Amino acid sequence: MSDVRRPIKAALLQIHSIAGLALALLWAVVGLTGATMAFEDEIEASLNSKMMRVDASATGRLTPDELVARLQAAGDFGKVSAVAMASDPSTAARIRFARSEGGTRPSSVYVDPYDGHVLGSPRGEDFFATVRKLHRWLLLPGDGNGIGRKITGAAAVCLIVMLITGLVLRWPHRARSVKMWLKPNLGLRGRGLHRSLHAVIGTWVLPVYLVMTMTGLWYSFEWYKAGANWLLARPQTTVAAMQPKAPRSGAAAEGKGQDKTEARGEAKPLAFDRVWTAYLQQENGSYGRALLTLPASAGTAVRVRSWPQDSTLESVRDEFRIDAVTGRLISSDRYVDKTLGERVLAGVLDIHRGAILGWPGKLAFMLAAALMPLFTVTGLLLYLSRRRHRRLARPPVASLVPGE
């Protein structure tokens, strides 16, 4: 190694070691929780397969408001915040609830769409909700508005630094040798084996970790999200996403009647049926499943997310905002109208967990996330072995008294 490169690599090793020691445990927690959630949908579907299915009937299915009324008559489940409906006549409806005053959210329930009979709460929902909070916010107070979001975001930035410095530190003399890059030397023992596993497996997962961190920053920093929107989305789309506007036919009426509409909405709880009717007119009945979500704060705009029947990705969806009082369409965001960059932004979550590549991608991302503790252990062992090597190589201290 040349005299110029030696101090540079020594400095990078210090950065790599200090950052790794400081954040290794945090990265292990985030990796394991991410791996746990990789097949969350499939696990919940398997656990609740009987609860999610009903016997199709010739009688018409209840409207969302009728389902909510039957549910409230059956017991005190809490304030309804969202209703999920499906076009499949044998799929149960799902009702979600708002947070209580203490900040906890009751478990959702499946209901029979024909008679409103409560089928039960889905198994696994509370477990995955806790894992998700640990993954995103480390279970710290404030959830998405607390310090935990910033900590995980800063850890993601540091992980990018770790990946870059690790790649530079392990750059072999024979850089074109595939065997040198990708094959661990399992015949070694002790420090040599730890270094081989740390470096080679780190090379395997480096592309996956880069994708995970670059997409994970989307959920941690608003400036990062704004920059991604500026780079990939059309200007008018970015503005519309920040502040949805009414279509041309209702733009003038919206400004004049907004105050009255909000006042009427606050006078009594918002209902779903007008929103549901307006949504069906927009989609012409060609939908797979739809989620109607009430506004979290004051206002009457209900958000409707709609997925087609053949969709396996969270990102392939249409989104509408409809006034719950008048049934007027406020904004419409259809997936087919998005540019390539906007589809990338819409699919951040699918990219983050590898779902964009189907189940093989999800499996690869899950395994990569589950390997994070390996780097915690091998990195710590390498650090301790370096310290021990330095102590052994240190020259003995000269005697203070001659001849002693």
SS3 sequence of 123-170: CCHHHHHHHHHHHHHCCCCCHHHCHHHHHHHHHHHHHHHHHHHHHHHC
Check: CB of residue 346 under 8 Å from CB of residue 315: yes
Neighbours of 141 (CB within 10 A): 10
Residues 326 and 258 in one domain: yes
Closest CA to 379 of 169, 143, 97, 145: 169
Picking from 54-63, 114-123, 167-176, 312-321, which range would have the lowest pLDDT averaged per residue?
167-176
pLDDT at 70: 93
Across residues 276-282, what is the average pLDDT?
Answer: 93
Residue at 352 is within a domain: no
- In what helix (H) or strand (E) does residue 255 lie, and over which residues does it extend? helix 248-267
pLDDT class for 339, splitting at 50, 70, 90?
A: very high
Its domain, for residue 85, covers 49-122
Across residues 283-292, what is the average pLDDT?
Answer: 89
Span 66-119, pLDDT tens digits:
999 999 998 888 899 999 999 999 999 999 999 877 778 899 999 999 999 999
State yes or no: pLDDT of 264 exceeds 70: no
Across residues 262-289, what is the average pLDDT?
Answer: 80
Check: CB of residue 143 under 8 Å from CB of residue 207: no
State yes or no: pLDDT of 401 exceeds 90: no
Across residues 141-170, what is the average pLDDT?
Answer: 92
Residues 17 and 147 in one domain: yes
Across residues 38-50, what is the average pLDDT?
Answer: 94
State yes or no: pLDDT of 32 exceeds 50: yes
Residues 163 and 213 in one domain: yes
Residue at 102 is within a domain: yes
What average pLDDT is seen over the chain? 87
Residue at 346 is within a domain: no
Residues 299 and 368 in one domain: no
Residue at 287 is within a domain: yes
Largest CA distance in the chain: 105
State yes or no: pLDDT of 248 exceeds 50: no
State yes or no: pLDDT of 1 exceeds 90: no
State yes or no: pLDDT of 194 exceeds 50: yes
Residues 36 and 53 in one domain: no
Residues 169 and 215 in one domain: yes
State yes or no: pLDDT of 397 exceeds 60: no
Who's near 351: CB < 8 A, 6+ residues apart? 211, 215, 344
Across residues 181-207, what is the average pLDDT?
Answer: 90
C-alpha–C-alpha distance, residues 395 and 208, integer Å:
44
Residues 111 and 243 in one domain: no
Who's near 95: CB < 8 A, 6+ residues apart? 67, 68, 71, 77, 80, 82, 83, 84, 108, 109, 111
C-alpha–C-alpha distance, residues 112 and 383, integer Å:
58
Residues 164 and 279 in one domain: no
Q: At what angle do helices 5-36 and 358-370 cross, to 10 degrees?
A: 120
- Token look-up 């029947």 returns 309
Picking from 180-189, 262-271, 303-312, which range would have the lowest pLDDT averaged per residue?
262-271
Residues 62 and 111 in one domain: yes
Residues 153 and 205 in one domain: yes
Residue at 194 is within a domain: yes
pLDDT class for 247, splitting at 50, 70, 90?
A: very low
pLDDT at 206: 95
pLDDT class for 58, splitting at 50, 70, 90?
A: confident
Residue at 344 is within a domain: no
Across residues 19-26, what is the average pLDDT?
Answer: 93
Residues 164 and 270 in one domain: no
SS3 175: coil
Residues 243 and 315 in one domain: yes
Residue at 226 is within a domain: no
Residue at 202 is within a domain: yes
pLDDT at 269: 76
Counting the structural domains of the chain, the total is 3
What DSSP character marks residue 110?
Answer: E
pLDDT class for 157, splitting at 50, 70, 90?
A: very high
